[in-house]
Amino acid sequence: MTPIEVFVSVLVATLIAFTLVLLTYWSGGKLAEKPKPTQWKYTMYACGEVLPPKKLQVNLARFYLFAVFFLIFDVIAFIIAISFGPFATGVEIPRELPIAYLAVAFLAALFLVPRKGVEL
């Protein structure tokens, strides 16, 4: 296949998928049951409620832990996906390489798992 044919086929597939999504969204709006208006629909949100002032506390240590997990496994998944053969480069890659990447990812995940007594 030429690059133009690949581009056209990807474009056609994208347009078909987009059309199917729009059709599903439109038909769901037409077929779904419409809610009946009540007296609460026209009142202001939180009108008359006494809400305690509370500062939003974000646990950054926990966020960074999940961010690092995501980066590790995302990069490792990419490396493993491209290391299972000569798909892109035509160069034969040793079969031990994906196993080594998985071992490194596993060791990195072990170091990131919270230990007892460590509060996140």
| Mean per-residue pLDDT of the chain | 77
Cα gap 10→18, rounded to integer Å:
12
What is the per-residue pLDDT for 21? 95
- Give the pLDDT confidence of 9-31 residue by residue, as tens digits: 999 999 999 999 999 999 988 88
Closest CA to 111 of 79, 75, 72, 74: 72
| Residue 6: predicted pLDDT | 86
Give the three-class secondary structure for 111: helix
Give backbone dihedrals phi and psi of 95, rounded to 5 degrees, phi first.
-70, -15
Domain spans of the chain?
Answer: 3-112
**Residues 101 and 82: beta-carbon distance below 8 Å:** no
